[in-house]
Amino acid sequence: MTRSMRILTFSSTVLLLATGVAIAQQLTVDINRITDGGVGDKIGTIVVSEGKGGVSFKVSVTGLPKTERGFHVHEKGDCGPAMKDGKMTAGEAAGPHFDPEAKKSHKGPKGAGHKGDLPLLKGTDKGISQTVTAPRLKLADVQGRALVIHEGGDNYTDNPENGGGKGRVACGVIPKQ
């Protein structure tokens, strides 16, 4: 191998490695409005990335009324409606909050409950533009699962159930790649 070929091979390897890392560490999720009739219009994106402090979610969403909203990783990668208490309900196909350790308790992002409990989102006049971090998560935990934004806020307890977020209003599935 000539010297220039060796340099070229080395450079290509570095480039490939750098590209691979970039793809693995940052995933863009399309966020859509959801109703009991199905998945609706796209209203924004959430960029998911892993860093030293856990997994970060850069939320850029518009078109939802201004209020605080519960935000969680739900178990299944499906934003469709499903039956709940005898009627079709928005986003129910996403299942419950991601809870791999079966804690069966909603305690917020820093508590020892559901691992899918994320910091709540705060709407402004311009929509939701906020980055939140979940210290207990890894990117591999959340890939293939749904990100759900709720109708109401989140008090990080089980009373009311799941922090009081009520219905599911927007959702997106985190890609596996």
Catalog residues that contact Cu ion under the rule CB under 5 A.
Answer: 72, 148
Using Cβ positions, the residue closest to Cu ion within the complex turns out to be 72
Closest separation between CB of residue 70 and Cu ion, Å?
6
Please state, in angstroms and rounded to a whole number, the distance separating the CA atoms of residues 19 and 23: 6
Q: Which residue number, 79 or 148, has a Cβ lying nearer to Cu ion? A: 148
Tokens of 151: 């109708």
Q: Which residue number, 33 or 72, has a Cβ lying nearer to Cu ion? A: 72
Q: Which residue number, 16 or 101, has a Cβ lying nearer to Cu ion? A: 101
The amino acid occupying position 146 is: A
Q: Which residue number, 73 or 139, has a Cβ lying nearer to Cu ion? A: 73
Which value, in Å, is the radius of gyration of the alpha carbons in the chain? Answer: 19
Please state, in angstroms and rounded to a whole number, the distance separating the CA atoms of residues 15 and 104: 44
* Residues 107, 108, 112: CA angle, nearest 5 degrees: 50
Please state, in angstroms and rounded to a whole number, the distance separating the CA atoms of residues 113 and 116: 9
Tokens of 95: 């299942």
Closest separation between CB of residue 25 and Cu ion, Å?
25
Closest separation between CB of residue 168 and Cu ion, Å?
7
Q: Which residue number, 44 or 98, has a Cβ lying nearer to Cu ion? A: 98
Closest separation between CB of residue 17 and Cu ion, Å?
36
Element holding 142 (H helix, E strand): helix 139-142
Closest separation between CB of residue 157 and Cu ion, Å?
14
